[in-house]
Amino acid sequence: MQSNNNVERVGGARVASPYVASTAKKRKKKWNWALFFFVLPGFIIYSVFFAGPTVAALFLSFTDWNGIAPTFNYVGFSNYTNMLTDDPIFVQSLGNNLKFTLGVLIFQTVLSLFFAMLLVKNTKANIFYRAVYFFPTIVASVSVAFVWTFMYDPNIGVINNILSAVGLESLAKSWLGDRNIAIYSLAFVQFWAHTGQMLIIFVAGLHAIPKELYEAAEIEGASKWQTFKSITWPLLAPSATIVVAYTTIQSFKAFDLVIAMTGGGPSYATEILSTFLYHEAFINFRFGYASAAAVIFMIIIAIVTVLQFRLLKSNDVKF
Amino acid sequence: MKKQMLLLMMVVLLMGSVLAGCGNTDETGGAESGDAKTINFLHWRGEDTEAFNAIIEKFEEENPDINVEMNALPSDSYIANASATLLSGKGADVFASFPGSQFEALQESGAYVELGDQAFIDRFSENMLGAGQKDGKQLAVPYQLVYNIPVYNKGVFDELGIEPPKDWDGFLEVSQTLKDNGYDPILFAGDVSPSQFINPMVMNNQPSDEAFAKLETGDEKLTNDWFVKTLSQIKELNDKGYFQKDPLGTKKEGAAALFAQEKGAMLALGSYMMATVAEQNPDIEQGLLSPITVSEDEMKYEGIHTSTFMLGVNSKSEHQKEALKFIEFLTKPEIASEYANATGQLLTVKDVEYDSPELTETAAWLDKKTLFQPRYTLSKEQVSKAIETAIQDVLSGVEPEEAAKKAQEEVDRAIK
């Protein structure tokens, strides 16, 4: 058959290949230019908008460029060594980022799973509630920040006013002004804004679990907790992997919410890595230093993501 | 196969033309229609767009061979977005910049054309031009003038029979009277006030126009008495409850709203808030006052001013002559008056006629002895941030000496 020229057998499956076997005896490989053109647009976009800036950031991280001047000096690894050994703000930003990410990760994963289990059945009410929970996801984060900043305001904000009105004045806090709780106040807004998104992923994952397994468990007399532990959670592992990885990356990269609500203050209590590198690049005019921060930031996210994938992959169940 | 290749080629060509279209915007943006030349005006005051449009219309009528295209970027990310445009020479023939570290960074990169020999320089109050000078050269002209001292509610002061205080004891006494009468004496915005309130607080504790600048040369330290005293006075105001509840958690908009609602008597921001407050409460009568941190006879400065919105011509512009013509037009007293009254901004241009009570009140400060905002004498933003953080630390309960020490460590790192 003529079309056999363009296919190879891999693991028993017939797949398209860029290489063509001309004869059975002599397998001469030829480059198929048509397939190259298929890849080209994506390759160009990836190179211009991702690979290029990444390489540029790596290069700039070894310079003292201020972001404006036409010239700069090479400074070797000094940006990295200064940042890791003599920059308490960078260390504080990293610590804040971990607190923020961990807070969001735990609450967002647990609660989105909880709500997903409550709303898994496709009833009209459940579909309505899913839409309601998803709504904050589609609101621009700057709008979310604006609304929550007013809600958190200690004098005119609705949260403290409600707490005072119901006699819980002692619980009224300086939500964004207290250095000890400001980062958690921001984490709560991030959690509020994105839980609906994760809920939808979990609902999709729950729908993919075969009903027969639950029926078998019921016949065997398994309790709800046993059913969850032995069926739901293991079979939800792929969805959980996506939720955990996505939440982690999203929380590490949270920027607009923090900039709009606190700008990293008070006293750097809410400065996270993304705002740190923004301040270094565009406020302090230390573009080289900020590039070094960006490289470290990228490495941290890559390590955390790989670890998470490996950890959660080990829980995968095939059926 | 041929069909497939043809389709692919078409897709690639289409994508190529889309990308090429994206890359061509600069050329079309700077295109000339007929003999008219187009200059680009870049700034951050989106709220002034209407006023500028009216002025640009008049300019184009007077100069039919010049078109002006205006682009207003957000102020908080202005330099981040504007720097590439400025360096390319396309997209910004006339541009505004902030004084201080931003001006320093731009002048270091050679972004400005020297304006010293332009006739319009004489239209400015001479003592307001310093912010745009470097090594004896006038690189930019500050167009707007703000006073970075608290705004106060004149009606409340009159009602309680109190006058703006003239020394530190008087300031404490006035604050106590206000508190006793149910007002928050000072409304402090946690996000902005630390960088504003520090200026009048420090101006007489270390009465020098180089106090902050010397931090960058190492000739002054934040652990010196004058700065620790300033922090201690801020702590005293906080400990005595003269700031509203939770000053660090209150944002600029929240503090301004409380002031407009007349729940507080002084707003620790600056004259630039007066128009906003007047919009929220047209009946409020506003004035400016400074916290004088020493005795009356020791006082050297009455307040703080900042000449800002510094207009410059891009050294890479191909239309420098036209750009200079536009700045000359903006500095005509009648045009400057139109802009000032339409936007509520006080200007550095002489002979401007103001028509609002807020501007008239602010203009009265032109005759007072004021100091250029010390924060803007710093070329390194890290030093400015260290000072701001020291205030936030004190308001969070850190002792002044400890906060000053921590801030000095940050300064040492910045100037290393």
Residue B1 domain-assigned?
no
Please determine, for residue A2, whether its predicted confidence score (pLDDT) is greater than 50: no
User: Closest Cα partner for A7 from A32, A33, A37?
Assistant: A32
Read off the pLDDT of each residue in B53-80 and give the average, rounded to a whole number: 90
What is the second-level CATH architecture of the domain A78-313?
A: Orthogonal Bundle (1.10)
Could you give the angle at the alpha carbon of A37 between the alpha carbons of A32 and A40, nearest 5°? Answer: 130
A275 neighbors A93 (Cβ within 8 angstroms): yes
Pair (B288, B391) in one structural domain = yes
| φ/ψ (deg, to 5) at B97 | -145, 160
Closest chain B residue to the Cα of A34, Cα to Cα: B5
Q: Is residue A17 over pLDDT 70?
A: no
Residue B30 lies in a domain: no
Is the same domain home to B213 and B341? no
Do B249 and B278 lie in a common domain? yes
pLDDT of B96 higher than 90: yes
Instruction: Say if B14 falls within a structural domain.
Output: no
So what's the pLDDT on residue A37? 84
Structure token digits, residue A99 = 């607190």
Split at pLDDT 50, 70, 90, the class of B188 is very high
State residue A316's pLDDT score.
Answer: 61
What residues of A are in the B interface, CB distance below 8 Å? 34, 37-38, 40-41, 44, 66-70, 86-87, 89, 149-150, 152-157, 174-179, 259, 262-263, 265-268, 278-279, 281-285
Model pLDDT, residue B39: 94
In what helix (H) or strand (E) does residue B265 lie, and over which residues does it extend?
strand B264-267
Rg (CA), chain B: 24
Interchain CB distance below 8 Å, B254 and A266: no
Which residue of chain B has the CA closest to A149?
Answer: B251
> Residue range A17-45: average pLDDT?
70
Q: Which of B271-275, B284-288, B335-339 has the lowest mean pLDDT?
A: B271-275
The pLDDT of residue B386 = 94
Query: How high is the pLDDT of residue A25?
Result: 52
What would the mean pLDDT of A34-38 be, rounded to a whole number?
83
- Give the residue from A265, A277, A295, A156 showing the smallest Cα distance to B244: A156
CA–CA min distance A266, chain B (Å): 6
Share of chain A above pLDDT 90, in %: 44
Given pLDDT bands bounded at 50, 70 and 90, which one contains residue A15?
A: very low
Of all residues in chain B, the percent with pLDDT exceeding 90 is 66
Average pLDDT score, chain A: 85
Q: Binning pLDDT at 50, 70 and 90, where does residue A310 land?
A: confident
Domain count, chain B: 2
- Mean pLDDT over residues A45-53, rounded? 89
Grouping H, G, I as helix, E, B as strand and the rest as coil, residue B62 is helix
Report the distance separating Cα B205 and Cα B225, nearest Å. 9
pLDDT of residue B31: 44
Residues of B in contact with A281 (CB under 8 A): 80
Note the pLDDT of residue B125.
83
Q: Is the predicted pLDDT of residue B202 greater than 80, yes or no?
A: yes
Quick one: B104 and B158 in the same domain? Answer: no
Does residue B28 lie in a domain region? Answer: no
| Burial (CB count within 10 angstroms: exposed 0-12, middle 13-18, buried 19+), residue B245 | middle
pLDDT at A283: 85
CATH number for the domain including B247? Answer: 3.40.190.10
For range A250-259, the mean pLDDT: 89
Task: Give ipTM to 2 decimals.
Answer: 0.73
- Asked if residues B168 and B295 have their Cβ atoms less than 8 Å apart, the reply is yes
Q: Is the pLDDT assigned to residue B15 strictly greater than 70? A: no
Percent of chain A with pLDDT over 70: 88
- Which residues does chain A have within 8 Å of residue B251's beta carbon, measured at their own beta carbons? 149, 153, 176
Select from B364, B380, B399 the last residue of a domain. Answer: B364
Question: Could you say which of A267, A284, A285 has the minimum Cβ distance to residue B393?
Answer: A267
Whose CA is closest to B266, among B189, B167, B169, B204?
B189
Task: Give the Cβ contact number of residue B77 at 10 Å.
Answer: 14
Specify whether B255 is located in the same domain as B381. Answer: yes
pLDDT in tens, B153-181: 999 999 999 999 999 999 999 999 999 99
pLDDT band at B34 (very low <50, low <70, confident <90, very high): low
Strand B37-43 versus strand B66-72 pairing type: parallel
Spell out the domain ranges in chain A. 2-53, 78-313
User: What share of chain B has pLDDT > 70, as a percent?
Assistant: 91
Q: Are strands B370-372 and B137-138 parallel, antiparallel or unpaired?
A: unpaired
Residue-wise pLDDT tens digits, B350-392: 889 998 888 888 888 888 999 999 988 888 889 999 999 999 9
Per-residue confidence (pLDDT) for residue A6, from 0 to 100: 46
Cis peptide before B247 (omega within 30 of 0): no
Instruction: Indicate if B198 and B129 belong to the same structural domain.
Output: no
CA distances from A29 to A8, A12, B356 (A): 12, 20, 82
> Helices A237-252 and A88-118 sit at what angle, rounded to 10 degrees?
140
Give me chain B's average pLDDT, please. Answer: 88
Task: Tell me whether residues A284 and B380 touch, CB distance under 8 A.
Answer: yes
Q: Are B50 and B174 in a shared domain?
A: no
What is the model's pLDDT at position B75? 77
Whole-number pLDDT of residue B26:
41
Q: Give the whole-angstrom CA distance, residue B86 versus residue B316.
A: 8
Distance CA A252, CA A246 (A): 10
- Average pLDDT value for residue range B214-232: 94
Q: Which of B339, B364, B389 is the last residue of a domain?
A: B364
Please check the confidence at residue B224 and state whether its pLDDT lies above 70.
yes
- B180/B292 same-domain check: yes
Nearest CA in chain A to B14: A41
Lowest mean pLDDT among B62-66, B75-79, B101-105, B139-143: B75-79
Positions of E strands within B118-202 = 133-134, 137-138, 141-147, 151-153, 184-187
Whether residues A68 and B77 touch (CB distance < 8 A) is answered with no
Same domain, B195 and B250: yes
Measured between alpha carbons, how far is A240 from B375 in angstroms, rounded to an integer? 50
End-to-end CA distance of chain A: 37
User: Which pLDDT does position A44 carry in this prediction?
Assistant: 92
Report which of residues A181 and A307 the model is more confident about: A181
Q: Taking CA atoms, what residue in A is nearest to B87?
A: A68
Identify which of B309, B347, B351, B4 has the alpha carbon closest to the alpha carbon of residue B145: B347
Q: What is the pLDDT of residue B375?
A: 87
Q: Looking at the structure, do residues B109 and B171 belong to the same domain, yes or no?
A: no
Q: Is the pLDDT of residue A279 over 50?
A: yes
Tell me, yes or no, whether B212 and B82 share the same domain.
no
Convert B362-389 to b/e letters by CB count within 10 Å (16 or more is b): bbebbeeebbbbbbbbbbbbbbbbbbbb
Name residue B162's amino acid.
I
Contact criterion met (CB below 8 Å) for A274 and A253: yes
Contact A282 B80 (CB under 8 A): yes
Q: What is the 3-state secondary structure (H, E, C) of chain A?
A: CHHHHHEEEECCEEEECCCCCCCCCCCCCCCCHHHHHHHHHHHHHHHHHHHHHHHHHHHHCCECCCCCCCCCCECCCHHHHHHHHCCHHHHHHHHHHHHHHHHHHHHHHHHHHHHHHHCCCCCHHHHHHHHHHHHHHHCCHHHHHHHHHHHHCCCCCHHHHHHHHCCCHHHCCCCCCCCCCHHHHHHHHHHHHHHHHHHHHHHHHHHCCCHHHHHHHHHHCCCHHHHHHHHHHHHCHHHHHHHHHHHHHHHHCCCHHHHHHCCCCCCCCCCCHHHHHHHHHHHCCCHHHHHHHHHHHHHHHHHHHHHHHHHHHCCCCCC
Shared-domain flag, residues B97 and B127: yes
Distance CA B230, CA B168 (A): 11
Does residue B254 lie within any of the structural domains? yes
Averaged pLDDT, A202-215: 90
Phi and psi at B70, nearest 5°, equal -105, 140
Please give the residue range of the domain that contains residue B397: 151-305+368-415
